[in-house]
Amino acid sequence: MPNRTPYIAANWKMNKTVAEAAEFVDTLLPRIAATQSDVVICPPFTALAEVVERSRGSAVRVAAQNMHEEGFGAFTGEVSAPMLVELDVEAVVLGHSERRQLFGETDEALSRKVPAALAAGLEPILCVGESETARDAGETEEVLERQLQADLANVESLELERVVVAYEPIWAIGTGRTATPEQAQEVSAFIRDVLRMRGAVVDNVRILYGGSVKPGNAAELMALPDVDGALVGGASLNPGDFAAIVDAAG
Contacts 24+ apart (CB under 8 A), 83-88: 84/48, 84/120, 84/122, 85/120, 85/121, 85/122, 87/48, 87/49, 87/52, 87/62, 88/52, 88/62
The CB-of-41 to ligand PGA minimum distance in angstroms stands at 13
**Cβ nearer to ligand PGA, comparing 47 with 232:** 232
The CB-of-56 to ligand PGA minimum distance in angstroms stands at 25
Binding site for ligand PGA (CB under 6 A): 11, 168, 173-174, 210-213, 231-235
Q: What angle do CA 114, 212, 190 make, to 5 degrees?
A: 50
* Main-chain dihedrals φ then ψ at residue 92, nearest 5 degrees: -150, 130
**Cβ nearer to ligand PGA, comparing 127 with 196:** 127
The question of whether 68 is a catalytic residue gets the answer no
**Cβ nearer to ligand PGA, comparing 51 with 218:** 218
**Cβ nearer to ligand PGA, comparing 193 with 220:** 220
**Cβ nearer to ligand PGA, comparing 148 with 232:** 232
Alpha-carbon Rg for the chain, nearest whole angstrom, is 17
Q: Say which of 98, 105, 130, 168 is annotated catalytic.
A: 168
The CB-of-11 to ligand PGA minimum distance in angstroms stands at 4
Q: Say which of 50, 69, 96, 130 is annotated catalytic.
A: 96
The question of whether 161 is a catalytic residue gets the answer no
Q: What angle do CA 183, 43, 246 make, to 5 degrees?
A: 50
The CB-of-7 to ligand PGA minimum distance in angstroms stands at 13
Task: State which residue has the least CB distance to ligand PGA.
Answer: 233
The CB-of-237 to ligand PGA minimum distance in angstroms stands at 9
Q: How far apart are CA 232 and CA 246, in angstroms?
A: 10
Catalytic residues: 96, 168
